[in-house]
Structure 1
Amino acid sequence: MENLLLEWLSFDGLILFGIGLLAAVVGVMFGAAGFVLLPSLLLVGIPIHATVAINKFATGISSFSTVIVLTMKKRVQLKKMIPFMLIAAVGGISGAFLATRLSEQTMNIVACIVLIVMFIFVLKSNKKAVVNEQPEIEEKTTLIAPFLIGIYDGGLGTGSALLNITYFLKKQFSYVMAAEMTRFVMFASCTTAFLFYLFYGIVNWGVAVPVAVGSIVGSQIGLKIIPYLKGKWIEILLPIIFFLLIVQVIADLLF
């Protein structure tokens, strides 16, 4: 325990804290925490499966902190989110199970295909669905997409929050509401996926804790910033974020 504490308080621990903070800010605002977190952890030599496990832990913790805040402020009704959270939780643990049986290359190929499909999906989305600033519209929603996204999130997760945001946008929720609802879903899928990785024995606590602490701070910063995002910025930035994620995954495949 003493060795872990020294590791957390070291310069490397401070860098990991900064990585977690930046990733969480990007994650809350644009659903692309993996764009910062995954390549950063891989760059410092963390294996892909351990990196995914750390990502699930950090994202799950930061999402939980925002879930508490949003619930207390009654921004999102927990009762309405429970079905989404339950199906995402099942998807998360299913994805983690599949990931431990796939190679790094196969995981990256799956990520690339999913992100390209969603990139095209976003480009074809009408402007109203992407930049709607009005209160959310109540309509019948299905749980198939959250389940599939949960599987993807548990197995790899690059851009999974962005997939959830896009799903809620297509259901005519405002961007702010879509991002806030996504935190509930991400908490569920990340938590069950992380518990599976923990059981599997591939969690590096020396890395996971400082990243998670940074993620908690970053998620609160992101919540403060997101109401100031303008619709036209979102319309431009979402496709750009998707494109950069695709480039990242393709780079992992080639190099």
Structure 2
Amino acid sequence: MDGISTEVLLFLIAAGFAAAFIDSVVGGGGLISIPALLFVGLPPSVALGTNKLAATMGSLTSTINFLRSGQINKRLVFKLLPLSIIGSGAGVYVVQLIPSAFLKPIILVLLILVTIYTLFKKGWGMESSFKELTKKMTFFIVSAALLLGFYDGFLGAGTGSFLIFSFLLLGFNFVESAGNAKVLNLGSNIAALITFMLFSSVDFRYGIPMGIAMIIGALVGSRVAIKNGAAYVKVLFVGITVVLIGKSIWDYVQKYIFL
């Protein structure tokens, strides 16, 4: 890769694999991949766009793996997919005009509530109880697909966790929820990538090698999740949401205390 040292290339490959392994199951891979891209010197907007290129490659891989395993409700998620795509494209466009900082306090509170609910609802998500959508459930999941698509393009952190939580509320187990979430996440990633490319905010020299590593990480991560079942996914889900909460709190500490 012209212009990229071997050390940087190896660093991006390692970061990409680790990010995709986690992201393929419960999301949150951006916690690893975006700081890695910023660390090698990319401007923030380009780091976000380049991450979307790599993340799209990883999301496609894990989505195919979940589809092959039969852990995705294709009838439902393919109807929701256009909403996720539209929302994400709108989110990327809006973030070019409006700072995303005002959303962060709301997201922190929601992540805490999601984690508490999951921890205290014993046995939740271990077995699938989904039968069919009621009118209330339809309104809820349609709104969630559109709003979380927008959020993924606008800010992104925790999108996977919120998508999984939404499908859990419908009665899917953790593995099915993870599979359903990956389809919508793939759609929002593609829409965001296209929009970032229109703003010339994608560096292919960095994104392609990281994306190849993400393909491998997503393949391994999704297979481990499918093999180990709902209990494994629940532990990883709670772990990642706690990390997201910790990072959000640390960002506030750095901003408002260590001025």
TM-score (norm 1): 0.86
Structure 2 gap segments, 5+ residues each: none
- Residue type at the aligned position of 1:65: T
Deviation at 1:114, TM superposition (A): 1.3
Structure 2 residue 114 is matched with structure 1 residue 121: yes
- Across the aligned residues of Structure 1 and Structure 2, the Cα RMSD in angstroms comes to 2.4
Deviations 1:52-72 (A, max 9, x none): 212222222211123333334
Deviations 1:17-38 (A, max 9, x none): 1111110111122221122222
Instruction: Tell me the secondary structure at the aligned position of residue 171 of structure 2.
Output: coil
Q: Which residue of 2 aligns with 1:93?
A: 89
Q: Aligned ranges for residues 226-241 of structure 1 at < 5 Å? A: 226-229=225-228, 235=234, 237-241=236-240
Contact 1:8/1:209, CA 8 A, preserved across alignment: no
Contact 1:130/1:170, CA 8 A, preserved across alignment: no
Instruction: Tell me the secondary structure at the aligned position of residue 35 of structure 1.
Output: helix
Q: Which moved more, 1:199-208 or 1:245-254?
A: 245-254
Q: Which residue of 2 aligns with 1:246?
A: 245
Contact 1:23/1:35, CA 8 A, preserved across alignment: yes
Deviation at 1:232, TM superposition (A): 5.3
Contact 1:137/1:173, CA 8 A, preserved across alignment: no
Contact 2:160/2:181, CA 8 A, preserved across alignment: yes
- Residue type at the aligned position of 2:201: I
Contact 2:27/2:158, CA 8 A, preserved across alignment: yes
**For the structure 1 residues 67 and 242, does the alpha-carbon distance in structure 2 shift closer, same or farther, using more than 3 Å as the test?**
closer
**For the structure 1 residues 135 and 117, does the alpha-carbon distance in structure 2 shift closer, same or farther, using more than 3 Å as the test?**
closer
Alignment size in residue pairs? 248
Deviation at 1:137, TM superposition (A): 3.6
Deviations 1:116-175 (A, max 9, x none): 213213312452574323464433333101111111101121111111111111111010
Q: Which moved more, 1:52-61 or 1:20-29?
A: 52-61
Deviation at 1:195, TM superposition (A): 0.4
Q: Distance in 2 between matches of 1:134 and 1:54?
A: 36
Q: Percent identity?
A: 22
TM-score (norm 2): 0.84
Q: Distance in 1 between matches of 2:173 and 2:4?
A: 39
Q: Distance in 2 between matches of 1:130 and 1:232?
A: 10
Contact 1:136/1:177, CA 8 A, preserved across alignment: no
Structure 2 residue 174 is matched with structure 1 residue 175: yes
Structure 2 residue 79 is matched with structure 1 residue 80: no
